Structures are given as C-alpha cells and as structure tokens.
Structure 1
Amino acid sequence: MKHYVGLDVALKTTQICVMDQEQKIVAEAKIETHPEALSQYLFKLGLNYQRVGLETGNLAQWLYTGMAEAGLPIICVDARKIKSFLKLQKVNKNDRNDARGIAKAMHIGTEHAVHMKTIESQRMRSLLAARKSIQIKMNDLKMFVRGNIRQYGMKMDKVSLSMWEARVRELIAGDNFLCMVVEPILVCIRTMRQQVVVLSKEINQITRGDPTCRLLMTCPGVGPVVSLTFKTSIDIPERFANSQTVGAYLGLTPKQNQSGETDKRGRISRAGDIAMRTALVEAAHSMLSRGRACWLKEWALKIKKRTNLFVAAIALARRLAVILHRMWVDKTEFCWEAAPKRAVAA
C-alpha cells in the first residue's frame, strides 16, 4: 500500500503524519528537527512512501538535502500555496492538523513543489547575500549621517564614494558634539566598505574559475555578480524546457487578468527571485547608460525612445534572462554583430 507523509517543521521538533492511500492516518509523532532523526523514524515504520512533504522555510534546504540523501522521496512545497490549502480543512490550526493537511496535499499531488537548489548554489547565494546585506546596512548608515547633519544646515550634495568620508569630516570639523556622534558611524561605514571589497574579490575569484560564469560574462552588462547570481538562481538550466519561460520565472513578465472578453495586462508580476530580478534590471540600466554598442542595446534604445527608460530597462532585463539561459544551454558566447534567430524571437 502507498503512503504519504506530511512534516510540519519547527525549530526544535517536527510533527509527522503518515497517511495511507485511503487517507487513513497510520502514524503520528513529534520528532527532533534533524534529517537523520526524521529519516530513522520513517524507515523504522517500514512503509512504502510515495511522497514526503515539507514547506519552504529556513530549515527546508537542510532537511530536504539530508532526507533525500537518505533515500526518501522528499518534496518541498510552496508555503504560501500550502497555507491556502490548509485553510480549506476548516480545523483548528495546530502542528498536528498542519502535518495532516500537508500529508493530504502529498496524496493529492505535487503541483506546488518548488525546486531546491544544490548545496553549491546555496553556498554561493549565501556569499552574494552577505555582500548585499553589508551594502544595504552601509547605505542605511550613510543616509542617517546625511539626515543627521542636514538638520544643522550641513549639506552633502553629490560627492564620489572615495571622497564621501572626507566630505563629512570637513562639514562637521567645527562641531565637537557632531564629531563625537558621527565618528563611530564613519568607522562602521569604513569597515563595511572594506568587507564589501573582500567579498567582491572572493566573487571575482570564483567567477574567473567558473566556465559557466565566464561564458555568461561575454554578454554586455553582465559582470561577476550578475553571472554568479544568474547561475545560482537558475541552478539547473535543463529544468526550463523553453528559455522564454525564464522571464516569467523571475517575475519580469506583465500580470494578466483575463475573463471573457476582458484581458487586462499590468505591471510585472515580481514573482520569483528578487535578487536575480534586481541584478538583471541593474545590468539593463548599466547597458543603456554606458554599455558598448550592440544589437541588443539598439533594440532597448528603440523601446526607450517610444516609451521611457523604466519600460526599456524591464524589457531589456527580461530579454537578458532569456539570452543568458540560451547561452548557457547552447554553450555559446554572446553574438555582438547581429541578433541570432533565437534571440530575435525572445
């Protein structure tokens, strides 16, 4: 008989529900949240498992990898989708009922299963996220300094990154109190900038030694950060049968609301990987503002001429996603002279 398992994961313990093909509960337990402990419990039952499901979350990657290596048919489902499914059960929300609901979802099918990245991709995403996090905190501190000294009539105006700290010191030089307040923040910003350089060097070193990243960087506007972000976001290019779907996967296609004769299209869906979508839009802006002339830039500039910069950048970002995926699959460098037939249709 086939059996289906639902796991409601918490930090310390995980509620397990095992259900047969007739949706009868065979076993329930609360086990330590560890892939080895969960796998041992399920193997001791000696049942024929068809699907073992858990929700996306902070511990999902760790549990998924460990239980998959143990030989269990583990599946990770979108937490937002499974939440809607659990609401239909019309029972009290608790760990036991959530585990039962996930087990029922596994019995029905795997429509909302999500792709779990490889360990290597997960590590690279941690590196990219660390660099981005420091940059965000550094910008927050800069904005605090700007706003704090502005209330005393000290205006920063436009200044280069290398001269930013010197300019702040110049403005507050005559005020001992402001020097005392701002100095610790300047030290933090300087330290953060140094660590961003360290992480950037690490990213550059990794991309130089990676054939896929070197291939992707032949495309205009694509540097080490964008290439590594794209590689870790897509992870396995073969999971996309058509390169056209990559744009939708990254949330760069318009929303659609169609019903009968009504067919409305809005702004981009913003679904999928935020970091990848942001990186592609930044690459598009870079290409439009200072990139080398090529057929792709000319195509985007025509859109800009009849619309605006924002629309052109989004369109270019979407097309970049399609082209990068096609380059990766075909193992071919970017064609600068003319648009390939496949790129024309993108």
Structure 2
Amino acid sequence: MDIDILGIDLAKRVFQLHGADRRGHALHGSKVLRAELLGAVRKLQPRIIAMEACSSAHHWGRQFQAMGIEVRLISPQYVAPFVKTNKNDANDAAAIVEAASRPTMHFVTVKSIEQQDMRAVHRVRELLVHQRTALINQVRGLLAERGVIMAQTPTAFKRALPSILARCDGELTSICQTLVTELLEQLRILEERIARTNQWITSFLKSSALCKKIEAIDGVGPITATAIVAAVGDAKEFKNGRHLSAWLGLVPRQYSSGGKSRLQGISKRGDIYLRTLLIHGARVVLRYAIGKADARSRWLQDLIARRGYNRAAVALANKNARVIQALLSGTEDYRSPAVPA
C-alpha cells in the first residue's frame, strides 16, 4: 500500500487516520490510540503527514520529522471548507488530506522546542499582566466607593497609595485598609513574577541571533522581537514582507466586486498579541518622531498630518513587519535611516 499523504485528526486519546495516493484516492482509514500512533505511522510509511495546526500538532510534527517524513500543518480555518456532509473524525481526516493536496494552500511551520518555550513565557507574562491590571482596578474600585479617586496608570496608583493608606479619617475604615493591603501583597507577588518572565525574555534575546537582528528596529524591543521569532521563526514561509503584514492583520480589509475596489480598515487577522505589540511599539516611535530631521521621522510627521495619529501608527507597524520579514529571511543586518545634514 503506497500512501503518499496521511491525514491525522489529532485528539487526546483516539486519533483518526486517512491515507490517500498521489491522485487523492483513499487507501487507508483507521482509528488508533495515542500510544499506537507512532507505530501505525511507521507501518504505513507515508511520504507526507498533514495535520491541523492545533494543540500538540507541533509536538507530533517534530516526532514525524525525526522519522524522515515531511509534515504539513494547516490552519483549521482552511480545512473547514473541505469537510463533506456531516462533521466527524473520519470526514475531518479526509478534509485535512484534501486541503493539504491543494497547490495554493498555506502551511504552518513546525515550531522548535525553543520557539515553544518563548511562546509559553509570553503567554504566562500576558496572563500575569492581565491579573495585575485586574488587581489594580479592584483596589481603585474599592477606594472609589469610599470617595478616594486616583489616576488610572500603575505609576500614579503606586505613588498615591501609601499616603491614602496612612490616613485614618473619613470612610476608609480599618477593614477596608486591611483588604487593600492584602490585595497590594498579591500585586507585589505578581510584579515579581512578571519581572522573572522579563528576565527569561532577555535571556532568549541574548541567545538568539534572529531576535538580535530585529530588536535593532525602532519600535521593536525585546518583548516584540522574541514574540515574533517564537511565532514565525526565520519567516521563510512568507514570500515577502507584505505576506507577513497580511498574516498579522495589518493590511486593509478588502470588499471588492464588479471591478470596484473597496478598502476598509485593517483586517485584524492573525495573532492579536503580535499585532498589538507592533502597534504599541510604533506609537512609541511616533511619540519621539516630532522635531527630528531623519527621513523616517519626516515621513511619519507628514503621515500624522495627513492621515492622523492612529493610521500613522498602523502604517509604521506595517512597515516594521515588512522589514522584519526581510531581516529574518535574509542575511543582512538592520541599517537605520541616515540623518540628513
């Protein structure tokens, strides 16, 4: 049985297999348990294995690549249109094979263990930052009910709180002070854990040549650099910079018909975390571009005047994404724009 491509519908315990030849004719279909999966693949000896890019896909992809098999990971949204009739495991596996056989299909690169470590640190850091924001808002809400108002920024919050807790007058009772003090202790622990994740991110940056290359770009710091390398690797899967910016959702959403082109706001597809980091980094560059005479700053100043601050931030984030793709897929280092005399 000469199986050219084997589709696997991933699960926790029971995996559905669907094998086909080069013409797409079904040759094999079976269910195997988790412990039997590697043995079944060795027995079938397919040339290609296709899976949805979901939980554990990268783990299994590395296992199959070690066996000398080509692995193709597909985004689940591209597999759904190929599911025939009712949805079940067998039809899902057949749809994966059908989608992976398309010559124009876009595939996801199998991530290394180092990349997954980076992504794990970023996910934990994002969770901790959300918890810190929730704690600060909880304290502000409790104090606002007692008539104590403070600014929203964490810096202003930390600056104003000691003097507020030192007061014993008004409606700020001892019980309320105790509750706020306990919440502040939780906040201190969260900030220590966030600082620890920042140290891990810094160590990733120092050990990765790709991270160092793109960290030199204005608006791309250690957090953004490590997050992008963890997500896209060497970026050779993208044909050019625009494909990367489109994958990040930084290009206009198009709704065209009848020969008329209609461009709307950005598509907001892809990873919202990466897109947010790039746009926030671009906002920092815009903040310090006023009054500078280099080519990029003059372009940004003109763009802000013509299109507004928010559009200028997205445009710079789009441009940075294109530069990142060129740096990650090539051998050259970043050259900052020269300042004219």
User: Normalised by the size of structure 1, how large is the TM-score?
Assistant: 0.85
Poorly superposed stretches of 4+, deviation over 6 Å? none
Structure 1: distance between partners of 2:167 and 2:47: 68
What displacement does 1:252 show? 0.7
**Corresponding letter in the other structure for 1:42:** V
User: Map of 1:85-164 to 2, 5 A cutoff?
Assistant: 85-86=82-83, 89-91=84-86, 93-108=87-102, 111-157=105-151, 160=155, 162-163=158-159
1:229-288: CA deviation from partner (whole Å, max 9, x where unpaired): 232233113333423332222211101112123211011111222222111111111111
Structure 1 unaligned blocks of 5 or more: 340-346
Give the whole-Å Cα distance in 1 for the aligned partners of 2:91 and 2:129.
42
Tell me, yes or no, if the aligned pair for 2:16 and 2:90 is still in contact at 8 Å. yes
Instruction: Say whether the 8 Å CA contact 1:5–1:106 is kept in structure 2.
Output: no
C-alpha RMSD over aligned residues: 2.7
Give 3-state SS (helix, strand or coil) of 2:32's partner. Answer: strand
2 CA distance for matches of 1:231 and 1:106? 25
- The equivalent of 1:26 in structure 2 is 27
Q: Which amino acid aligns with 1:137?
A: Q
> 1:76 aligns to what SS in structure 2?
strand
What TM-score, normalized by structure 2, do the two folds share?
0.86
Q: 1:298 to 1:8 in 2, by over 3 A?
A: same
- Contact kept? 1:257, 1:263, Cα under 8 Å: yes
| Residue correspondence of structure 1 range 1-346 to structure 2 within 5 A | 1-21=2-22, 24-33=25-34, 37-45=36-44, 47=45, 49-86=46-83, 89-91=84-86, 93-108=87-102, 111-157=105-151, 160=155, 162-163=158-159, 165-166=161-162, 169-170=165-166, 174-290=172-288, 293=292, 294-328=294-328, 329-338=330-339
Q: Provide, for residues 301-329 of structure 1, a one-character-per-residue CA deviation record: whole Å limited to 9, x for no partner.
A: 21111221111100011111122333442
What is the deviation of 1:42? 2.2
**1:17–1:28: 8 Å Cα contact kept in structure 2?**
yes
1:52, 1:211 → 2: CA distance? 31
- Counterpart of 2:197, as a letter, is L
* Stretch moving more, 325-334 or 116-125: 325-334
CA gap 1:319/1:172 in 2 versus in 1, 3 angstroms = farther
Report how many aligned residue pairs link the two structures: 332
